[in-house]
Structure formats: C-alpha cells, structure tokens
Amino acid sequence: MKNELSRKSDFDFFDEAMHDFFTPFYGRRGVQKYMRTDIKENENDYLMEVELPGLDKQDIHIELKDGYLNISASKSEKQEGGKDNYIHRERSFSCQRSYYVGDVRSEDIKAKYENGILQVVIPKLTEQKEINSRIEIE
C-alpha cells in the first residue's frame, strides 16, 4: 500500500496548473493544442483540414492578407442571470493561426465547416509563362 501511494502518477494537477500559469518560465510543452492542421496536395489544389471541435460556424473567422491565410476562432460562454458557484471555467477561449498561401485570390478559396473540421480548399498557383513578343525599334 505504501508503494502505491508514494508512486508518482503521470498527471499532477498542481504541476500542470503551474505550467499553465507560468508558461513564459516553463515554456510550451508537447504539441499545439488548437488548430491542428492536415494539408493534402491534390492535382489542382490543396486541402487543409483544421481541427476546431466544439465551435459554431459563426465562431470562426478566415481572412486573406498579404499572402497569409489567417484563421481565428473565439468562443465565450454567456452567463444568464443567477449566480453560479463555478470554481474554474475553461469553455471560453480564442486562438489563431496563419498559413502562407502565396498570391491567391480570396474568391478562389473555398471553406466548409462540418463536425468540428474546417476544410479549406486553396487552388494551386499556375505558373505564368512569359510570353515572348518582339518589340519593334522606331
């Protein structure tokens, strides 16, 4: 019994709380928690699948600026009257991530959100071939 109690478990609540509150001192551990992204190359485009569980479509914002596709999400819990005796709440958050996509027109990008996955289709840039034309000298 003594060995069972003295054995350190994998999860320590207070250790995790210290890392959450003092991230600049401890640094980020593990992988990114939000907006994990898979990118698949197809023949004519790229398919990005961004994991955003628990959100509504209205919570997600996509913007194209200077060749970067910026995706941001924010969710906040609305408190309705009455006093609740919450000790800790974590269902409100915001996160954002940027992806370099190059000189793509925003009209050509398609996005769809379903079952916690944001799918963004970005067309491949077609190489513009230089057209040779003769310039006459006057």
Q: According to the model, what pLDDT value does residue 6 have? A: 42
Q: According to the model, what pLDDT value does residue 26 have? A: 46
Q: According to the model, what pLDDT value does residue 42 have? A: 93
CB 123 within 8 A of CB 108: yes
Q: According to the model, what pLDDT value does residue 132 have? A: 63
Per-block average pLDDT, block size 10, for the chain (138 residues)? 42 55 50 80 94 90 93 79 69 86 90 94 76 64
Q: Which CATH number fits domain 31-77+89-124: 3.20.20.60, 3.40.50.2000, 2.60.40.790, 3.30.470.20?
A: 2.60.40.790
| b/e code 127-138 from CB counts within 10 Å (16+ = b) | eeeeeeeeeeee
